Chain A
C-alpha cells in the first residue's frame, strides 16, 4: 500500500521564482496536512484540510504561500515569489480520521531558494 507521495523530492530555485509542491495522500484518508521543518523552528503546521476544505491556515507564514486541495487525492502548496528564508523541508501528512488522530507523513520536499 503506497504511503503519502510528495513531489519533487528536491527543488532548487532562485529567489523570486514560483515553487509548487505536490502531495498525494493515502487513499481513503480524509485529512491532509502541510508542515515545514527547519533547524531554527522545528516542525510547524502550515495548513490542514478536512474533506478537501481548508480548516486551519493560521500557520501559513505570508500571502506568498497558498495551498489547494482540488480533490481527495491531490494537494499543492505554492510559494510565489519564493525567498531564501523559505528554504526548508516541506512535509505533507494525511490522516484517516477527521481530526487527524493518526497522521502519516510523506518523505518531504527539500526546498532550497538561492
Chain B
C-alpha cells in the first residue's frame, strides 16, 4: 500500500542549511508536497512538485525529487529560528484527491 516515511527529528544551527528527507512507495504519485506545521497551528503548504520534475526552487527552499528511488528532499538555506516547526511530506497518487502524509520531521534550529 501507499506509505510515506520521514526521519523524526533534525537539529541545525541558525544560518546552516537544513535538509529534510522523505521516501514514498507509490510509483503512481503525481504530486509531492511539503507542509509546515507550527505549534497549535494548521498545516501551511510550503511548496509542491509535479512528478515529472527533478527540482523546484522557491527563495530559500529547494525541493529535489528522485523518482527512480522514490526520494524527496527539502533543503532550507540559511535556516532561521522561525523555521523551527514540524515538516510533513505528502504524496498524491493518480486522480484521487487523497494525500498520504509522512509522520513529520521536527526541525529544531539552535541560535
Q: Is the CB of A48 within 8 A of B43?
A: no
Find out whether the CB atom of B99 lies under 8 angstroms from the CB atom of A104.
no
Interface string of A72-114 (1 = CB under 8 A from B): 0000000000000000000101010011111111111000000
CB < 8 Å neighbour of A91 from B43, B96, B98: B43
- If A42-B104, A43-B88 touch, does A100 touch B99 (CB 8 Å cutoff)? yes
**CB–CB A95/B97 < 8 A:** yes
> Is B45 a contact of A102 with CB atoms below 8 Å?
yes
Q: A105-B44, A107-B41, A108-B42 are known contacts. Are A99 and B104 too (CB-CB below 8 A)?
A: no
Q: How large is the interface on B (under 10, 10 to 19, 20 to 34, 35 or more residues)?
A: 10 to 19
How many chain A residues have a CB neighbour from B under 8 Å? Answer: 24
Interface centre among B48, B101, B102 (most CB of A within 10 A): B101
A103 in contact with B95 (CB, 8 Å):
no
Chain B window 76-107, contacts with chain A (Cβ cutoff 8 Å), 1 for yes, 0 for no: 00000000000010001001111101111000
A interface list, Cβ under 8 A from B: 4, 31, 33, 42-43, 45, 48, 50, 55-56, 91, 93, 95, 98-108
Instruction: List 17 other contacts, CB 8 Å, given A42-B103, A99-B97.
Output: A31-B97, A33-B99, A42-B101, A43-B88, A43-B101, A48-B97, A48-B98, A91-B42, A91-B43, A93-B43, A99-B95, A100-B92, A101-B31, A102-B45, A103-B99, A107-B42, A108-B41
> Could you list which residues of chain B lie within 8 angstroms of chain A, going by C-beta atoms?
31, 35, 41-45, 48, 88, 92, 95-99, 101-104
